[in-house]
Amino acid sequence: MPGDLTTSPPRTPAAATRKFRILVVDDDRDSVDLLTQWLTMGGYEVTSAADGQEALRRAQSDRPDLVLLDILIPPPDGVQVMRAIKRDRVMSTIPVVVMTVKRDVKSKVECLKNGADDYIVKPFHFDELDAVVRSSLKKRYLYTSRERANRQLRDANERLLKLTVTDERTNLLNDRYLKRRLGEEFKRAQRYGTPLSVAMLDLDHFKEVNDKYGHDCGDLVLREFGNLLTASARTTDIVGRFGGEEFLMVLPNTDGIRAAIVAERVRKAAEEHIYKYKESLVRITTSAGVASAPANPQVHDENELLKAADQALYRAKQASRNRVILDRASMPPDVLDGDLSAIFKASYEDDLQRGPDVPES
């Protein structure tokens, strides 16, 4: 055994509480073999490196829980390796224990300033090394436990936030968050004098789908219809499930005519869509009511805007369903008798002329 490693025969270290990974960096093969044997008997998982380059590769790939580092190694030397580890965002929390024959104060101070967590002078007793290893690994364990707890807390908070703002059946925004966002957008529209519209959509005869095919099929329809909504929405639009089979689109900076065109595209997409459930092919249409402010002078807050859209939706359901009705008070005066068919037709023709790859203005 090399004379500079220990002044007494090694005792088997106390068993590690879990499988910690230790990287031994030393160019003395006998020292590495002895340390590896001793640490392995203690329940540690050990890898080794004989020079600075291999040490950095091992540290990056293996992510050890502790590095036992001789500073007198082929370049980069131990101090340079330690600096690189401590400057790395991912590896900086790995404890580094220096093992060296250099016993002068200046060398020790230099190592500690460059990030060494502890410093052992060769020859050393294995009892001393055991104490240092355990102390360093305890710090590492406490740090990783805290990081794991913080990560779990962040994940839990993200899940909780998602639960508070999304609908569990469709993964769209839920009614509570929709109302909150609508209130914010209404105040913004008032402040800047921009139009704001909402489209309230209801799946026609949805109860019949549940009665005939079951609630699993009904849930599938809700999810896929939600996908149709998001596919038809712009990035600035706010889309969610408003309750039951009702959905809401909040359309900032959009007047009633443009909002009705968006709702009509959703209606047409729903009419053409086929829901595949087991061996059944299910079709279901949607009706929509649209309202806009400030075009409607009777709308003074977001609740009145929702009420106007809901009343328009009611008229759409009464008028044979599968249609879009724009709240009359939200309609420009040059649209005669509320007939939007020519406008809808023009929007479809415009889509064909623009082609599928041209974004909507």
- Residue 308's SS3 state is helix
Indicate the domain borders of the chain.
Answer: 21-149, 175-354
Confidence of residue 335 (pLDDT cuts 50, 70, 90): low
User: Is residue 342 scored above 80 in pLDDT?
Assistant: no
CATH architecture of the domain with range 21-149: 3-Layer(aba) Sandwich (3.40)
In DSSP terms, which residues pair with 208 in a beta bridge?
none
pTM (whole model) above 0.75: no
Question: What digits encode the pLDDT tens for the residues 265-320?
Answer: 999 999 999 999 999 999 999 999 999 999 999 999 999 999 999 999 999 999 88
User: Is residue 337 scored above 90 in pLDDT?
Assistant: no
User: Is residue 188 scored above 60 in pLDDT?
Assistant: yes
Helix H segments across the chain?
29-41, 52-62, 78-87, 105-113, 126-165, 175-192, 206-213, 215-232, 256-272, 302-318, 341-354
CATH (one of 3.40.50.300, 3.40.1280.10, 3.30.70.270, 1.10.760.10) for 175-354: 3.30.70.270
Question: What digits encode the pLDDT tens for the residues 92-146?
Answer: 999 999 999 998 999 999 999 999 999 999 888 888 889 999 999 998 888 888 8
Mean pLDDT (the chain) is 87
User: Is residue 44 scored above 60 in pLDDT?
Assistant: yes
- Edge-first strand order for the sheet with 324-326 is 238-243, 246-252, 196-203, 286-293, 324-326
**What mean pLDDT is predicted for residues 16-41?**
88
Q: Give the span between the Cα atoms of 50 and 78, in whole angstroms.
A: 11
- Residue 357's SS3 state is coil
First to last CA, the chain: 79
Q: Give the span between the Cα atoms of 42 and 126, in whole angstroms.
A: 12
**What mean pLDDT is predicted for residues 239-261?**
94
Do residues 67 and 96 touch, judged by C-beta distance below 8 A?
yes
